[in-house]
Amino acid sequence: MKCQSFSLVYTFATASLCTGLLWSSASITGAAEPGLETAKIESIAGLKGALNEKEDTFKISKPKNDVPISVDQASMAPFMGLTSWATFMPGGKADAMAMGDMVLFEDEVNPVMSAALEKGLAVTALHNHFFFDKPRVYFMHIGGEGTVERLAEGVRAIFDKEKEIRSANPQPADFVRDRTAPGEKRD
């Protein structure tokens, strides 16, 4: 078990380092060529975005507003750090690069991670920001380089998988809090 945990942490650390180097090398070489296909990104991802011409980036975002979230019994609005986002920019070796941070509930993590990986995106980190959050909220960092279509399809697959899970079960499962020991009664 320790080897698997170490391997997973090592994989995330390596992926995070590689993603950081990829983004750093892109900024060192200067401004990328203009012309990111923003309309195509919006169409495929299903979200409107914002262009930052100075940085030649295009960001789409989606607030996590499908289920109320509280931290230590205080209600949290999406603008308080509960918005998923993905930013696209012209690539170094491919047409485009993307990176983002997806806000997920506990029961969304594994299926969404699988959807991202199946579409060729890298998952570079998975962590939480809060203690005493209800439902439990996780943040999954993604990245990738390729065609605008492939990257936008990967982001779309993430949002589609989240929607599929919430449609089937509107209230997020809480695997940690829902566990009971054999013979133990739940409150």
User: Which tens digits make up the pLDDT trace of 67-93?
Assistant: 999 999 999 999 999 999 999 999 989
pLDDT over threshold 50, residue 174: yes
Q: 21 or 56, which is more confident?
A: 56
CA 60/CA 49 separation, integer angstroms: 4
Residue 173 in domain: no
Please name the residues in contact with 102: beta carbons below 8 A apart, sequence gap of 6 or more. Answer: 84, 112, 116, 139, 140, 141, 142, 158
Residue 179 in domain: no
Residue 101 in domain: yes
Average of per-residue pLDDT across 17-41: 57
pLDDT over threshold 80, residue 23: no
Can you give the pTM of this predicted structure? Answer: 0.77
Residue with token string 């499908």: 66
| Six token digits for residue 34 | 């203009």
| Pick from 125-134, 156-165, 173-182: least confident | 173-182
Confirm if 168 and 107 have CB atoms less than 8 A apart. Answer: no
Residue 184 in domain: no
Residue 156 in domain: yes
Provide the number of structural domains found in the chain: 1
Residue 178 in domain: no
pLDDT over threshold 60, residue 114: yes
For the stretch 35-72, pLDDT in tens is: 789 999 999 999 999 999 999 999 999 999 999 999 99
| Residue numbers of the domain that contains 93 | 2-168
Percent of the chain with pLDDT over 90: 72
pLDDT-derived band at 29 (thresholds 50, 70, 90) equals: very low
